[in-house]
Amino acid sequence: MKASIKFTALLLLAGASVFATIPAKAAIPPKLNAITFTSLPSLQGLAVKAEKNLAGKAIVIISDEDGNVLRKDELSNKAGMEKNYILTKLDEGDYTIEVVSKDKSVKQDIHVYTDGKNKMFFIKG
């Protein structure tokens, strides 16, 4: 009985060592036309970034809950396809940030609120 347990353990170790010597290839597909929203370090706004392989330019549109356009900017390859927005200057309420390019359109809903003395925001959904 002890011999069969030892033999089984030896087979398991030998099998595991075969798999450990063969490196796994990580097949990570490239991000095509990726648009990201990240919080700024000061937590007062967010950065909108479009990958450089995005075709042409991208337009960033910030609108309020009634659909009124508050700001419209262009992200171009010259600017590195990134722009920062301070959201704590907005009034309390709901807003939409939309990034539109030739190939893609991405929307994020933002809620701006006051927490004590500080104005804060969060991305919905």
* Domains of the chain and any CATH numbers: 35-123 (2.60.40.3080)
**What residues contact residue 12 under an 8 Å CB cut-off, 6+ apart?**
none
pLDDT digits (tens, 9 = 90+) for 17-65: 544 444 444 444 545 557 888 888 776 888 888 876 666 778 999 999 9
List phi, psi (to 5°) of 21. -85, -20
Q: Specify the pLDDT at position 82.
A: 85
C-alpha separations of 46 from 58, 104, 108, 120 in Å: 17, 20, 11, 11
| 65 torsion bin: left (phi>0), alpha (psi -120 to 50), beta (else) | alpha
Structural contact between residues 113 and 92, judged by C-beta atoms closer than 8 angstroms: yes
Residue 12 has pLDDT above 70, yes or no: no
- CA 76, chain centre distance (Å): 19
What is the pLDDT, as a whole number, of residue 96?
A: 94
Of 62, 69, 18, residue with least CA distance to 37:
62
- Tokens for 8? 């089984």
